Structure 1
Amino acid sequence: MRHMYINGDTPNVCRNFIKGNIIPRWSRMKFPLFLGIVVGSILVVASDDKLNSNLDEEWENWKLQYSRQYAEGEETSRRMIWESALSYIEQHNREYAMGKHTFTVGINQFGDLTNEEFNKQMNGFVMNEAENSTEEIEERDELDDDDDDDDNEISFKLPKSFNWIKKGAVTPVKNQGACGSCWAFSATGALEGQLGKNRKLISLSEQNLLDCDRRSHGCRGGLMGNAYNWMIQAGGINSEQTYPYTARQGTCRFRGDMIAAKIRKYRSLAKSESRLARGVAQIGPIAVAIDASRRSFQYYKQGVYFDRRCSNRNVNHAVLAVGYGRQRGKRFWLIKNSWGLSWGDKGYIKMQRNRRNLCGITNYMVYPVM
């Protein structure tokens, strides 16, 4: 919360309190508590004064849309974060109109979260565990042995664009809620894609993984590889209908008699954008991890996403690559997220492709083998 007074300056009433000119001698022992209450009240009033009253109706509508209710004394600080987000969005979109950006941003359900809170709550891919994993994984993918140069796609004979949604291999966008379970949604998404390729598209249970995969950490993050290892050991995974999502980790209630899908193993792709393109086109939707930490990602709306500050080394969020294409001369990856329809382009984001591994999209790529 921003303060009204800076550089050590305090209002006259506070200076009088400090000098003892207002508080009787007999009550000065209670002075620190009393002063804290008074200063706190002054700061709340000061913060209220900094709010834009022209946004009152919009704020109320936003709270209603996203069912926001705040504890006493919290709403002012949340409103200030929200107004800051609106200011950022307005500035970015103004620059977009000037040709400085390739995508737009917009207010969404994360409008009252600081970027730090957003990252802690929503991004649950644990990269350090992926790097330190001793799990044996078959590195060999199922792709043909062609030249693996990112810039030479002629020999691959890839289609110019590809979209598994149009081929019926992608379930509707889901919502992980206030839980860092993106890893589970990414893992099920890739397996749902394999089912969809065989025209048996079924929505699988992320909650099953959240509760039962103890190598991962529930709402505190995990790995798609761990999820697949659990499926192999358990003999399969339940459907969303059998094991509904609750957005919190609980007791494992896996039903071995209600298995919706099984896998034999899982594989990874070599770190290459051309490899990912071929994987998407030849194998199916691929579970990938990206850096989703930027404010620009938090409020992404439409267009081809590119933020030069997005890390190509440190990834923190698991998503699903379901296709690729070109828009206004910009190549992109079509990415399915798990933050509901109100985020991004109806739950999806187009991320610029072949831009030096933008946001680390090739750092961790896996898919299940049925």
Structure 2
Amino acid sequence: MEPWLRLLRLLGLLGLLGLLPGSAPVPAQPRAVGAQAWEPPSPELLGPARFALETYNRAAGTRAVLGAVRGRVRRAGKGSLYSLEAILEEQPCRDPTVCQLPVSKKTLLCSFEVLDEPGRRMLLRRDCSPVDTKVTGAEIAGGCGQPKSDFSQGSALISCLFQLYPDDRDETFSSVLPLLNKDPLPRDFPVKVTSAFKKFVSTYNRTYETKEEAQWRMSVFASNLVRAQKIQALDRGTAQYGVTKFSDLTEEEFRTIYLNPLLKEELGKKMQLAKFTGDSAPPEWDWRNKGAVTKVKDQGMCGSCWAFSVTGNVEGQWFLKRGTLLSLSEQELVDCDKVDKACLGGLPSNAYSAIKNLGGLETEEDYSYQGHMQACNFSAEKAKVYINDSVELSRSEQKLAAWLAQNGPISVAINAFGMQFYRHGISHPLRPLCSPWLIDHAVLLVGYGNRSDVPFWAIKNSWGTNWGEEGYYYLHRGSGSCGVNAMASSAVVN
């Protein structure tokens, strides 16, 4: 069989498993087409819902009205994230100069994510479609004769796949399917979920506004346990996946809050390519042991990973050139870099330019992190660190290792597939799952080495020390895993 055909069919498998981006099933209550079947919304949801409606109307050029709304709210610090479902009644267009075709009134079902913080409100996501075109789970399942939810059982899924592809027992499928040949859900799964969820709530100090919200979060938690197990089965490294502090978030919520969609657009400032000296890389290297890396930080509910990646790099560069390790301000970049989008994402290349144009970086102590955008309060007199330029680095991982050992930690961007549930070990996802073309998270390479003959990159993340290996992520080295070599860069300090 042609390799491209095997890849297409593997992608089909991964889609059925719910492991491709955006394909994970989200626990939900049965939807009613008519708004009259919904419970009256709480007053707290109406403000964010009306804001989402106004923003939608402006963008779409429509005159939709709000029919009904329901949703959930997640609070952190001074802000709240609203996950809303709304019925919109889109009014017919009556202006012949605008309408190209007669348009009848239609009903839309919309999903909105609204971030509400002191002094600002933002629509982070909108997804609307006519309610009468929704595809049911049974239709998605195709000819397998069972609802999509049954696919959480591995043997049932495998049986179904071989019904759909009876001639497809080639090396691609034979290398993947045996990993799922056991039903992942034991008989006592509900009891174990309840116990695990209670431990999760206690461990991460979770509080929920209502009983309904707690029940919803437990259903998301249960779905995520199954998803983490599928990721575990398909990982080719030594990583362990399971319960983390993000286990009560849907995939969409996690991506919206913590990741950085701007990275895959690569529209930042073009940098010169760094010159490679030709030196070979030592067998292993770790800048943490040499005093060039500050403690792990926490970006909070803000997609500011780009700022943490860049400050981590500059901290290392300053240490190597000036001999002093300073913890630098990410908040300065969130507030003062007007090219990037603060908590909605940014690019390291733009951040280097902002540092140079502003006149340097203040320390964390002088300009502390708040986790949301505020007025720029940079003071040139307080700047402690300066950069002269920035450079793009080679896509060769061997050259990256040599450059790191000689010059310090490197800012990189990766596809964050599986990181929502990563606990420890060396991650090595299948390439279709962790495409290098879909990078969405900026991090810091601080070292490399081998564990039991498995080569790895040591990566400093910005989700706090209560994630991963005390805040660090270990990714397979030498295979371009998750695009780790696709956007490597560094500041230049003379």
| TM-score, normalising length: structure 2 | 0.60
Match of 2:271 among 134, 137, 160: 137
For 2:223, the aligned partner's letter is S
Counterpart CA distance in 2 for 1:284 and 1:253 is 29
Q: Using a 3 Å threshold, how does the CA distance of structure 1 residues 36 and 67 change in structure 2: closer, same or farther?
A: same
Kept in 2, the 8 Å contact 1:125–1:223? The answer is no
CA distance, structure 2, for counterparts of residue 177 and residue 81 of structure 1:
20
Deviations, residues 208-238 of structure 1 (Å, cap 9, x unaligned) = 1000001000000001111110111111010
Distance 1:230 1:2 in 2: 42
Structure with larger RCO (C-alpha < 8 A, sep 6+):
1
Contact conserved, 2:449 with 2:455, CA < 8 A, in 1?
Answer: yes
C-alpha contact (below 8 Å) 1:216/1:223 kept by paired residues: yes
Q: Choose between structure 1 and 2: higher strand proportion.
A: 2
Is residue 269–residue 276 contact of structure 1 (8 Å, CA) maintained in 2? yes
Task: Read off the aligned partner of 1:114 and give its amino acid letter.
Answer: T
Separation in structure 1 between the aligned mates of residue 301 and residue 29 of structure 2, nearest angstrom: 33
Say if 2:315 is the partner of 1:179.
no
Measure the CA separation in 1 of the matches of 2:396 and 2:226.
37
Question: Secondary structure of 1:232's match?
Answer: helix
TM-fit CA distance, 1:61: 3.6
- In structure 1, what is the Cα distance between the partners aligned to 2:470 and 2:193? 25
User: Which of the residues 320, 340, 348 maps onto 1:216?
Assistant: 340
1:328 lines up with 2:464 in the alignment: no
Distance in 1 between residues matched to 2:337 and 2:303, nearest whole Å:
14
Contact 2:280 2:402 in 1 (8 A): no
Q: For 1:189, give the aligned amino acid.
A: G
| Partner SS, residue 238 of structure 1 | coil
Gaps of 5+ in 2: 1-25, 41-187
User: Are the counterparts in 1 of residues 240 and 425 from structure 2 also a CA contact under 8 Å?
Assistant: yes
> For residues 332-360 of structure 1, what are the alpha-carbon distances to aligned partners after superposition, in whole Å with 9 as ceiling and x for unaligned?
111111011111111111111111x1111
Higher mean alpha-carbon deviation, 116-125 vs 311-320, is at 116-125
Aligned partner of 2:286 in structure 1 is: 163
The equivalences for 1:166-245 within 5 A come to: 166-197=289-320, 198-245=322-369
The counterpart of 2:241, out of the listed 80, 102, 105, is 105
Single out whichever of 80-89 and 225-234 deviates more from structure 2.
Answer: 80-89
Please name the residue that 1:120 is paired with.
Answer: 256
Q: Aligned partners of 1:265 and 1:4: how far apart in 2?
A: 53
Q: Distance in 2 between matches of 1:229 and 1:90?
A: 42
1:39-118 superposed matches below 5 A: 52-72=190-210, 73-89=212-228, 95=233, 101-118=237-254
Amino acid at match of 1:75: A
TM-score under structure 1 normalisation? Answer: 0.78
- Residue 306 of structure 1 corresponds to 428
On the 8 A contact 1:92/1:104 being kept in 2, the answer is no
Matched AA of 2:395: K
Query: For 2:386, which of 262, 272, 282 is the aligned residue?
Result: 262
Q: Which amino acid aligns with 1:52?
A: P
Percent of aligned positions that are identical: 34
Q: 8 Å contact 2:304–2:342 — kept in the other structure?
A: yes
Following TM superposition, by how much is the alpha carbon of 1:90 offset from its aligned partner in structure 2, in angstroms? Answer: 5.3
Structure 1 residue 302, shift from structure 2 partner = 1.5
Q: Which amino acid aligns with 1:220?
A: L
Partner of 1:27: none
Alpha-carbon distance in structure 1 between the residues aligned to 2:462 and 2:441 = 10
What CA deviation, in whole Å up to 9, does each residue of 1:63-106 have, x standing for no partner? 2332322233222111111122234445666x59xx96521113
Q: Which residue matches 1:43?
A: none
Gaps of at least 5 residues in structure 1 are 9-30, 39-49, 147-155
> SS at the partner of 1:251?
coil
Question: What is the alpha-carbon distance in structure 2 between the residues aligned to residue 3 and residue 114 of structure 1?
Answer: 11
Alignment partner, residue 18 of structure 1: none
**CA distance, structure 2, for counterparts of residue 104 and residue 157 of structure 1:** 32
Alignment RMSD, CA only?
Answer: 2.7
TM-aligned CA distance change 1:101 to 1:225, over 3 Å: closer
Residues 144-174 of structure 1 deviation map (CA, whole Å, 9 limit, x = unaligned): 1x3xxxxxxxxx4321000000001000111
CA distance in 1, matches of 2:409, 2:237: 28
Select the residue among 246, 256, 261 that pairs with 2:370. 246
CA distance in 1, matches of 2:414, 2:35: 49
Q: Deviations over 1:2-25 (max 9, x none)?
A: 57889x9xxxxxxxxxxxxxxxxx
Matches within 5 A, 1:3-42: 33=36, 36-37=38-39
